[in-house]
Amino acid sequence: MKALLIVDVQNDFCPGGTLAVPEGNKVVPVINSLMDRFDVIVASKDWHPPKSIHFDKWPPHCVQNTPGAEFHPKLQSARIQQVFLKGTGNRDDGYSAFEATNVDLESYLKSKGVSELYVTGLATDYCVKASALDARKRNFKTCVVTDAVAAVDVQPRDGEKALEELKAAGVALVTSRDPI
């Protein structure tokens, strides 16, 4: 069984948000187009308290119960079967979806018989990378869909470097045009 993981496609990470990923909104139609190919569709959300040490490193974003923490309005979020909330503590970066505190992602996927995880969303160089590396560590066959992710690129090429690091860790890089 394969699952689609949609990482942090939230308003604050899209253009107009407080920590926008350049062209972050462009992943939305690609992710929507992938949904028909999966029986299990899950998503993570950055879900920070108003005060967090995480905001020493980043502008405040995705604060719990604010519009910035909502999914992008064009994402077909009604099709998401479970949302995993991460970064929920005030000392917690929560880059990886496997750090979710409301539901344990690994146990959830195993309970659904999932062995293959396709990772999409924002941002390539932080939460997508951390989630895909954690999936590999937990022995899921892991793919990143490269046209369904976008990078913050705090430094130029951070996104490309993240993809190289993922490949070296045994994560497959595919595109939405590949047979998934």
Q: Which helix (H) or strand (E) holds 148?
A: strand 141-150
CB of 18 to Zn ion, least distance (A): 10
What are the residue numbers of the active site? 8, 86, 127
Task: Output the smallest distance, CB 61 to Zn ion, in A.
Answer: 6
> Is the Cβ of residue 47 or residue 118 nearer to Zn ion in the bound state?
47
Give residues with Cβ within 8 angstroms of 69, minimum separation 6. Answer: 10, 11, 12, 45, 46, 47, 48, 62, 63
Backbone angles phi, psi at 94, to 5 degrees: 60, 50
Residue 170: count of CB within 10 angstroms of its CB: 12
Determine contact, residues 156/29, Cβ cutoff 8 Å: no
CB 8, min distance to Zn ion, A: 8
**Identity of the residue, 17 or 87, whose beta carbon is nearer to Zn ion in the bound complex:** 87
- Based on DSSP, count helices (H) and strands (E) in the chain, helices before strands: 4, 6
Distance in Å, CB of 110 to Zn ion, minimum: 26
Nearest residue (CB) to Zn ion, 87 versus 159: 87
Q: Closer CB to Zn ion, residue 38 or residue 47?
A: 47
How far from the centroid of its chain's Cα atoms is residue 26's Cα? 14
Residues that bind Zn ion (CB under 5 A): 46, 87
